[in-house]
Structure formats: C-alpha cells, structure tokens
Amino acid sequence: MSKILLPLTLIILFASKYADAQLVTYKQPDCNMASHAYMVEVQQGRSYWQNIGVYQADVAAKLDVQHISKKTCFTYFDCSGIVNIRVKVNYANVKTVVIRPASYGIIPKIKGNIIEFSVKPSQYISLEINGDIFQNLQLFSNAVEEDRPKSGDPNVIYFGPGVHNIGRMEIPSNKTVYIAGGAIVEGGFIMDHVKNVNIRGRGILTQYIVRPGETAPETKPLTHEERNDQLLVQYSENVNVSGIVEVPKGYSIMVGQSQQVNISDFKSFSSTGNADGIDIFCSSNVTIDHIFMRNSDDCIAIYGHRWRYYGNTNDITVDNATLWADVAHPVLIGTHGDTSHPDTLQNIRFHNMVILDQHENQLDYQGCIAINAGDSNLVRNVSFENVKIGDIRKGQLFNLRVMFNRKYNTSPGGGIEHVWFKNVSYTGSRANMSVISGYDDLHGIKDVVFENLKINGTLIYDKMKTKPGFYKTGDMANIFIGEHTDAIRFVTNN
C-alpha cells in the first residue's frame, strides 16, 4: 500500500506546485517584422512546448558620417512562474553564448545550435551568440496581465491581434488604449491637455511598416511646433504607459510640462538620429519602473525648458531600468533650460539600474551617467543607488559638468549640488576617463558623494590603503576631478 501512496503523493505535490503558474503566449501576425534568425519555444513545468514568434527591429551600428543600422531580435510572453526556454539559432553555428544582465545568473545549456535555460517572471534579457550584440535576441518575460480591458467597453480604444495602421491618433481624457498581445499598431498616440489616460497591453507600437511591394506613404513635413514621437504626453496629468514594446522613429516617450506620469514594464528599440528613449521636460511626479531601453540616442533624458515647455522639473523616480545606448547616454540630466528664467531640476532618484552598453565617439556626449548643467539650470538632490555598469564599448562612467555647450545652450549651467552615488559598480576595461568639473567660481559642483564605488571589484574610498597620500581618490577610479568642485568624497560603510 505504501508503495502506491508514495508516487501518488509526489504526483499531487507536483501538480499543486504548478497549478497556479500561468504561461501566456501570443500568435505572431503576418508581417515583415517577423524574424527567422531564431526559433523560440517556451515550456512551464513539464507541459508541452509552445512556439512563440520572434520579431526584428533596427538598432544603430554606426551613426556619424555614416548611418548603418542592423537587425536585432526580440520576443515576449507572460508568465507567473519559472519558464523553460529553448532557442534554436538559425543564422550561425553556436560557439559561445552570453546572457545579460549577468546579475540574473542565468547559465545556458548548449547542444549544437540549441540553447536551453530558464527565466523567471519580469526578467528582460539579452541572448548573445558568438559575441554578436546586434543580431542578438532580447527576451521579455512579462508578468501575467490583470484586469485586461474588454473590446466592447466605450472607454477603451482596443487593438486586438493583427496589424493596425492608425496614423497619429489623439487620445482624449479618461480613455484606455489597449494593444493586445499579438497586435502591431503602426502610428503614434498624442496626449495633449488631457487627464486620466492609460496606454497598456502586450503588443507593439511602431512606425509604418513597409511591406513587400509597397512604398511608405507620403507624410507632410512637420512644423517646428509639431512632434513625431511615438508617444507624446504634453500639458497632461495622470497618464500611465505600461507593458508594450515600441520601435519608434522619434522619441519613444516624450513628456512635456506634465505631471503624474507613470511608465512601467516598457520596452523600446530605436535606430535613427535623435531617437531618444524617454525624455522629460518641465514635468513633475514622473515614475518609471521596470524598463528595457535600447536606443540610438539618450535612453533617459531629464531636462528643463525646451521648445514650448516651461518650468522646473522635480520628483522623478526611476526603478529597475536596463539601459543600452548604442549612441549617446544611458542617462543624461540637465542640458536644456531657460536662461532668462533659470530652471531647477531636483529630487531625481535612480535605483536598481543595469547599464549594458554605451557607444559614443563624441567626447562631449560621453558618460553612462551624465549630469550636464547648461542654460543656467541648477541640478540638485540627485541619487543613484545599486547601479551595475558592464564593459561598455566606448564612453565614460560618469560625466558631471557645469557647461556651456554652444550648440544647445545660451548660458552656462547654474550649478550641480548634492549628488549621491551608492553601490555603483563597473566591470570592464574599455571605459574612458570620467570627468567632474565646474565652469567657474560661480557655476561649480559641490557635495558629490560616492559610497561603496567598486571598479572591477576594488572598493574606492578616501582612506583606502593602496592609495598614495598625494593622489586624489578619483585617480584610483580613473575620474578626473577638475576645477570649481568642492566636497567630492569617496566613502564606504563596509
């Protein structure tokens, strides 16, 4: 009797373990965003394997006198438990495999051209074959959606599975736009002087897709007051963006003179010039949580005045961000402002951030984390906590400058003060010298603290035993600490 009960007990325990777990996949629509570089299957527990569609997006391989883009790949699904992944690589013989971020600790098994590993819910990863960072596979394991909107709801603009061409659509107040998994929406959304708008789902928002035998439709030239961003939020309040993937032509999300904007579970790829990720101007109470940004310009940029937007910028919080800048900065704060009526950019917090890459040839625009105060801006009360920076291709770790960039500014910045870096680490060998430098005695940098800064595992602090007494601590971290700076400290609590 006991020999029968024991296997039955194990079966019951196994069934209960996976009874509450969910795996949701979406059928890929017939479109030329489909990629055949990989075949991807997913499995939960010991259930059957499900094939999921793989998409392609352009990313910038070179963007200077030449503009060269390459195809990267991505796929997505929803889950509430651990999911087994099986990837077949169709375009190359597999020699090496790297899965980033390394902090996830995902170790793949390689069997010829088949790669197997497991992921947890809400992990966004890059699978890189033979060191190729362009034809890599970005895999997004979303959490399972709750309270999905219904297509018949009069307050919902619903895009079901398939391809939808909408042009640029203005969204009124008190509306939800839902892009279902398996949907591709060609166009953009404008939120202008509205309140209480939600843009959500699991599908893709992109520019017009040119199909075989077609040419792109003609578009009228934009005036200097018009924007071509995929999501434009201006003069608005309580706008939420969550869950979708964007492949834009302009900025992914542009927030201008707005408040209470929340962005979560968001993914973005871009390849053209000035195609920033998320840009914030003259806005307050903006929260960004759990994003993956791979952009051909700044991934996240926080500014004061520009164009028709006026006022200070404050209370910006970014949590759980994975940033990949094929060009320019992963994070930039401060460049644009209002010389006649100086702006203050303050209370800006970044927590739990992974920077996978920066590649920038121009020295003026390097810095994985850049605070560049211009146009009389005062930047203060900024913190970065738990930041991991990988072996970037070309750039600096930090660039803190009060500057007068005559291409963009009409005056030097007002200053930078009270900046805190806690638990920031860099692992690599290719980063250039970082810079901390003020402009003059009246436009300087003060009170910058690095707490537990690690460079390739070495803890950098003012009283470290390996530092010669006549060195600045910044020398030990390859950080140039220039003129017009005060109270730049390196401390540890270890």
Q: What is the pLDDT of residues 123-163, one digit of tens each?
A: 999 999 999 999 999 999 999 999 999 999 999 999 999 99
Distance, in Å, from the CA atom of 304 to the CA atom of 98, rounded to the nearest integer, reads: 39
Q: What Rg, from alpha-carbon coordinates, does the chain have?
A: 24
Are 474 and 480 a contacting pair, CB within 8 Å? Answer: yes
Task: List Cβ neighbours of 365 (8 Å cut-off, separation of 6 or more).
Answer: 328, 329
Pairing verdict, β 83-89 and 114-119: antiparallel
Confidence check: pLDDT of 224 > 50: no
Confidence check: pLDDT of 2 > 50: no
CA angle, 351 as apex, 345 and 357 as ends, to 5°? Answer: 95
Predicted confidence (pLDDT) per residue in 390-444, tens digit: 999 999 999 999 999 999 999 999 999 999 999 999 999 999 999 999 999 999 9
Q: Does domain 156-213+226-491 have CATH number 2.30.30.40?
A: no
Q: Is 347 exposed, middle or buried (0-12, 13-18, 19+ CB in 10 A)?
A: middle
Predicted confidence (pLDDT) per residue in 288-297, tens digit: 999 999 999 9
Are 229 and 53 a contacting pair, CB within 8 Å? Answer: no
- Where in the chain do CATH 2.60.350.10 domains reside? 21-143
Q: What is the pLDDT of residue 207?
A: 86
Q: Which CATH class is domain 21-143?
A: mainly beta
- Mean pLDDT value of segment 174-190: 97
Q: Is 335 exposed, middle or buried (0-12, 13-18, 19+ CB in 10 A)?
A: buried
Q: What is the pLDDT of residue 129?
A: 98
Predicted confidence (pLDDT) per residue in 74-112, tens digit: 999 999 999 999 999 999 999 999 999 999 999 999 999
- Where in the chain do CATH 2.160.20.10 domains reside? 156-213+226-491
Cα 52 to Cα 24, 40, 72, 111, 380: the distances in Å are 10, 6, 16, 20, 46
Q: What is the pLDDT of residue 63?
A: 83
Confidence check: pLDDT of 11 > 80: no
Distance, in Å, from the CA atom of 315 to the CA atom of 1, rounded to the nearest integer, reads: 66
In 3D space, the residue among 389, 394, 143, 126 whose CA is nearest the CA of residue 269 turns out to be: 126
Confidence check: pLDDT of 16 > 50: no
Predicted confidence (pLDDT) per residue in 266-311, tens digit: 999 999 989 999 999 999 999 999 999 999 999 999 999 999 999 9
Task: List Cβ neighbours of 13 (8 Å cut-off, separation of 6 or more).
Answer: none
CA angle, 412 as apex, 411 and 414 as ends, to 5°? Answer: 115
Q: What is the pLDDT of residue 67?
A: 87
Q: What is the pLDDT of residue 222?
A: 44
